[in-house]
Amino acid sequence: MLTVETSLKEAMTSIEGSLGVALVDYTSGMALGTLGGGKDLDLSVAAAGNTDVIRAKVRTMEMLDLRDDIEDVLITLGSQYHLIRLLGGRGSNGLFLYLVLDKARANLAMARHQLKRIEAELEL
Query: pLDDT digits over 5-21, tens only?
Result: 999 999 999 999 999 99
Q: How far apart are the C-alpha atoms of 32 and 64, rounded to whole Å?
A: 31
State pLDDT tens for residues 53-65. 999 998 999 999 9
- pTM equals 0.92
As for how many domains the chain has, the answer is 1
Task: Report whether 3 contacts 17 (CB < 8 A).
Answer: no
Q: Structural domain of residue 68, as residue ranges?
A: 4-121
| 24 has pLDDT over 80 | yes
CATH number for position 82: 3.30.450.30
Task: Report whether 11 contacts 18 (CB < 8 A).
Answer: yes
Q: Please calculate the CA angle 76-87-68 and round it to the nearest 5 degrees.
A: 80
